[in-house]
Amino acid sequence: MNARSRCVAALLVALGAVPLFAGSASAHPPFCICKMADATTVRCEGGFADGTGVPGVRLDVIRYDETVALETKFGADSTVSFKRPQGEFYVLFDAGPGQSFDVDYKDIQ
């Protein structure tokens, strides 16, 4: 694990953003950090606490009424950018059973 990955993992654990599962198969929990890149574009970076990237992993933008606004995947650099949808939504990073993480629109600054 590189220094940046250790820092992100430690920060997420300290903030309570990453659940800890003692003895679980989920030894390296996922994270997804989304920020506004500009006035209309959201940029998300995903990965696992051990520093593993997530190129090709699915990321969905879902409205509160459960309709899917966008289905996309993380790029080679484990990031994805998209136009911020209007209204209430959340971002779902899903790398498989026990390996998902969501970010509510209210938390995207």
- Domains annotated for the chain, with CATH where assigned, are 3-107 (2.60.40.10)
Residue 9, token pair as written in the block: 């993992």
Nearest to 81 by CA among 105, 103, 59: 59
Q: C-alpha angle 63/66/67, rounded to 5°?
A: 70
- pTM of the full structure: 0.73
36-50, pLDDT tens digit by residue?
Answer: 999 999 999 999 999
Strand partners for 41? 83
Q: Examine the pLDDT at 4 and tell me if it is beyond 60.
A: no
What 3-state DSSP class applies to 53? coil
57-78, pLDDT tens digit by residue?
Answer: 999 999 999 999 999 999 999 9
Say if residues 108 and 89 touch (Cβ distance below 8 Å).
no
